[in-house]
Amino acid sequence: MTEEIVPDVVISRLPWYLHTLNQMAKEGVRTTSSMILAERLGITAAQIRKDLSYFGGFGKQGTGYSIYFLIEQLQKILNLDRIWQVVVVGAGDLGRALTRYPGFANRGIEIVLLFDNDPEVVGTMVGPILVKNIDSLEDDIRRLGIKIAFLTLPASAAQTTAERLVAAGIEAILNYTPVTLNLPEHVHVQRIDPVLHLQRMMYYLGDA
Amino acid sequence: MTEEIVPDVVISRLPWYLHTLNQMAKEGVRTTSSMILAERLGITAAQIRKDLSYFGGFGKQGTGYSIYFLIEQLQKILNLDRIWQVVVVGAGDLGRALTRYPGFANRGIEIVLLFDNDPEVVGTMVGPILVKNIDSLEDDIRRLGIKIAFLTLPASAAQTTAERLVAAGIEAILNYTPVTLNLPEHVHVQRIDPVLHLQRMMYYLGDA
């Protein structure tokens, strides 16, 4: 669909567009404009039009966007027209929270494996998922052909475990550890760190 | 320090610059350039120079940036030269994970209050923090003058609890619920949703 390479920062905004459009659809709205979207998202209308132009536009001059059409197109662009299976590595508080997160249902994401190395935790259930011994990590991931992992281990085990994940075929890691992972270029890693989110808000709080 | 309004997207990158600079400082590096920073961060050098120019620059032509000076300046800009106290609302898996998160220590963030409404959970300890009854939310937040909250409640309680937080003086909310909060304009809300992070990566996985 795309002819040129789309900047990652543009890709990072598409899920937000989709999320907002889904909300508007739920509210019964049928068409929208870059102006209305911009107001709801807190960015400029020009930015939205430019982002969407990478994929061919989708709107007619003056008539705006059909919300359902735009949702369908964004889902295709983001490869959301299928179910993605995900593995959670680390069954501590955060791994358990992610495994039980209700927001995955109906959004194309299914947690299918959960690993830990603690003998007290292995064999217990977290929601509908059995905690498996991390010894079978590679075999289970390969067998199911899983490409995406949440890494929620202690920092000391992060790099070695990430390497095992990549060797087993994982291509995308959401990294909740404080470690900057050193992995092959084809692996997509996103660091999730609540401190970085907080620091952004502290800029504004300083005026208070 | 700033003369014009800095776009939020610029502010959102400053914590990442700071994080990377801190890592380089730990590695013993003393000076850097926008080119080296750009390579580590995966964005363009021009973007980094433009972002920093909002705050006056900090580098001399040809000699690059002093890492310690840049760290100090970014900490000042982001108001990190103090300790920020934070309240966690909801002592489920995620609230517990945040309360125990080891990455806050030495980064200016201190979790000081944790609330829940479940009588089985109220009165228990999560790390060094006592779970308090949500009935005393307003009093405790006002008494300590806390401005920042993590919201990790079930969706059904999110909006009403957020309103209580704002009435008690909270000005920044990290919203981990699936709800889009409707709050006064002066309140800074960031929605944290693992689905949106995942969807961004699925764009790239689709080629696989």
Per-residue pLDDT in tens (0 to 9) along chain B, 208 residues: 444 688 888 898 899 899 889 989 999 999 999 888 888 877 788 888 889 999 886 766 667 889 999 999 999 999 988 899 999 999 998 999 999 988 887 788 999 999 999 999 999 999 999 999 999 999 999 999 999 999 999 889 999 999 999 999 999 999 998 788 999 999 999 888 888 888 888 888 875 4
Q: How much is the pLDDT for B67?
A: 93
Interface test with B, best of A87, A203, A205, A207 (most B CBs within 10 A): A203
Q: How much is the pLDDT for B1?
A: 46
**Quick one: pLDDT band at residue A43, thresholds 50, 70, 90?**
confident
Interface test with A, best of B22, B23, B93 (most A CBs within 10 A): B93
Nearest to B206 among A79, A86, A204 (CB): A79
> Å from A119 to nearest chain B CA?
20
Crossing angle for the helix pair A34-41 and A45-53, nearest 10 degrees? 110
A contacts of B171 (beta carbons < 8 Å): 204-205, 208
What's the CA gap between A11 and A73, in Å, rounded? 13
What's the CA gap between A176 and A155, in Å, rounded? 9
Mean pLDDT calculated for residue range A122-136: 96
Contacts of B104 (CB under 8 A, 6+ apart): A194, A195, B110, B111
Residue A208, pLDDT above cutoff 50: no
Number of CB atoms found within 10 A of residue A5's CB: 7
Q: How much is the pLDDT for A2?
A: 43
With CA atoms as reference, report the closest residue to B119 among B129, B134, B137.
B134
Nearest to B79 among A19, A155, A203 (CB): A203
One-letter amino acid at A59 equals: G
Q: How much is the pLDDT for A191?
A: 85
Q: How much is the pLDDT for B45?
A: 85
CB contact under 8 A, A195 and B11: no
Please name every residue paired with A174 in a beta bridge, in sequence order, or none if there are none.
A150, A190
Q: How much is the pLDDT for B208?
A: 47
Q: What tokens were used for A166?
A: 């990549």
DSSP A7: P
Buried b (16+ CB within 10 A) or exposed e, B108-123: bbebebbbbbeeebbe
A contacts of B197 (beta carbons < 8 Å): 15, 174, 190, 192
A contacts of B190 (beta carbons < 8 Å): 197, 200-201
One-letter amino acid at A2 equals: T
What's the CA gap between A181 and B94, in Å, rounded? 23
Compare B37 and A1 and report the one with higher pLDDT: B37
Contact A96, A89 (CB under 8 A): no
With CA atoms as reference, report the closest residue to B183 among B140, B142, B151, B144.
B151
Q: How much is the pLDDT for B4?
A: 65
Query: What's the mean pLDDT when you consider all of chain A?
Result: 89
> Within chain A, where are the H helices?
8-26, 34-41, 45-53, 67-77, 93-99, 137-144, 158-167, 194-205
Angle, alpha carbons B173-A32-A60 (nearest 5°): 140
The complex scores an ipTM of: 0.82
What's the CA gap between B157 and B116, in Å, rounded? 11
Contact A17, A41 (CB under 8 A): yes
Q: How much is the pLDDT for B116?
A: 97
3-state secondary structure of B6: coil
**Segment A171-194, tens digit of pLDDT:** 999 999 878 899 999 999 988 888
Tell me the pTM: 0.79
Residue A149, pLDDT above cutoff 70: yes
